Amino acid sequence: MNQTVLLLLLLTTLSAAHKHHDHLSEEQLKVPTDAILWIHILLQATVWGILFPVGMVLGITRSRWHVPLQSAAFALTFGGYILGHSHGGRMFLPSIHGSFASLLFIPILLQLSLGIYLKLHIHEETTRPYAVVAHGVLGKAYPVLGWSQMLFGALTYGGYCRDGNLGQCLAHYIMGSGFIAYGAIMAILLVVGEAWIIRSGRSPEWWDSWIIMLWVINTFTEHRGSTWSVKDMQHTILGVLWWTGGLLGIFLARNNQRNVVPGVIIILTGWAMSEHAQRLKMSTKVHATFGHTLMLAGLARIVEICFVAPDYAKLSKSPTHPHPLAGGNGEVDKAFRHLPPFVSTMRSLLFMSATDEEIGAVHESGMDHVTYILIMFSLAFTIYGLILLLLHLYATTGRHASSTPSFSGGEEIELRDTSGSGGGNKWYTRVPQTPSTGGGGGVGGAHVLGDDDD
More confident: 61 or 430: 61
Neighbours of 442 (CB within 10 A): 25
Under DSSP, the state recorded for 308 is I
Measured in whole angstroms, how far is the alpha carbon of residue 229 from the centre of its chain? Answer: 34
- In this prediction, residue 175 has a pLDDT band, given cuts at 50, 70 and 90, of confident
* 336-348: average pLDDT: 91
Domain boundaries, the chain: 1-160+392-454, 163-354
Residue 450 has pLDDT above 70, yes or no: no
Backbone angles phi, psi at 33, to 5 degrees: -70, 130
Query: What pLDDT is stored for residue 421 in this prediction?
Result: 43
Residue 301 one-letter amino acid:
R
Highest-scoring range by mean pLDDT, 6-20, 94-108, 272-286: 94-108
Q: What angle do CA 312, 314, 320 make, to 5 degrees?
A: 95
pTM: 0.79
The contacts of residue 355 (CB under 8 Å, 6+ apart) are: 160, 165, 168, 169, 172
Residue 370 has pLDDT above 90, yes or no: yes
What average pLDDT does the structure give for the chain? Answer: 79
As a three-state string, the secondary structure of 74-125 is HHHHHHHHHHHCCCCECCCCCCHHHHHHHHCHHHHHHHHHHHHHHHHCCCCC
The DSSP H or E segment spanning 145 is helix 142-158
d(CA 146, CA 50): 10
Percent with pLDDT over 70 in the chain: 75
Distances (CA, A) of 240 to 119, 135, 215: 52, 40, 9
DSSP β-bridge partners for residue 89: 33
Q: Do residues 249 and 259 make contact, with C-beta atoms less than 8 angstroms apart?
A: yes
Highest-scoring range by mean pLDDT, 12-16, 86-90, 202-206, 446-450: 202-206
Q: Do residues 451 and 59 make contact, with C-beta atoms less than 8 angstroms apart?
A: yes
* Helix 166-191 and helix 142-158, axial crossing angle in degrees, nearest 10: 150
The contacts of residue 451 (CB under 8 Å, 6+ apart) are: 59, 62, 63, 64, 66, 67, 438, 439, 440, 441
Q: Do residues 437 and 420 make contact, with C-beta atoms less than 8 angstroms apart?
A: no
Give the range among 45-59, 140-154, 331-345 with minimum mean pLDDT. 331-345
d(CA 239, CA 218): 5
Give the range among 8-22, 227-241, 304-318 with minimum mean pLDDT. 8-22
The contacts of residue 220 (CB under 8 Å, 6+ apart) are: 239
Exposure class string for 118-147: b at 16+ Cβ within 10 A, else e: bbeeeeeeeebbebbbbbbebbbebbebbb
Distances (CA, A) of 47 to 74, 101, 282, 389, 449: 8, 14, 34, 16, 16
Highest-scoring range by mean pLDDT, 151-160, 161-170, 407-416: 151-160
Distances (CA, A) of 382 to 11, 77, 175, 295, 386: 35, 22, 20, 22, 6
Give the model confidence (pLDDT) of 399-433 as tens digits: 888 654 444 444 444 444 444 444 444 444 444 44
Query: What pLDDT is stored for residue 453 in this prediction?
Result: 38
Percent with pLDDT over 90 in the chain: 34
d(CA 242, CA 272): 13
Query: What pLDDT is stored for residue 250 in this prediction?
Result: 93
Give the model confidence (pLDDT) of 85-119 as tens digits: 777 767 777 888 988 988 998 999 999 899 889 88
Backbone dihedral region of 123: left (phi > 0), alpha (psi from -120 to 50 degrees) or beta?
A: left
More confident: 279 or 161: 161
Backbone angles phi, psi at 89, to 5 degrees: 70, -125
Query: What pLDDT is stored for residue 52 in this prediction?
Result: 95
Residue 312 has pLDDT above 50, yes or no: yes
Distances (CA, A) of 213 to 29, 82, 209, 375: 43, 44, 6, 32
Contacts 24+ apart (CB under 8 A), 125-130: 128/428, 128/431, 129/425, 129/427, 129/428, 129/442, 129/445
End-to-end CA distance of the chain: 10
DSSP 26-61: HHHHTSPBPHHHHHHHHHHHHIIIIIHHHHHHHHHT
d(CA 135, CA 137): 6
As a three-state string, the secondary structure of 211-274 is HHHHHHHHHHHCCCCCCCCHHHHHHHHHHHHHHHHHHHHHHHCHHHCCCCHHHHHHHHHHHHHH
- In this prediction, residue 335 has a pLDDT band, given cuts at 50, 70 and 90, of confident
Measured in whole angstroms, how far is the alpha carbon of residue 247 from the centre of its chain? Answer: 26
Pick from 97, 101, 103, 82: nearest CA to 158: 97
More confident: 335 or 232: 335
Residue 11 has pLDDT above 70, yes or no: no
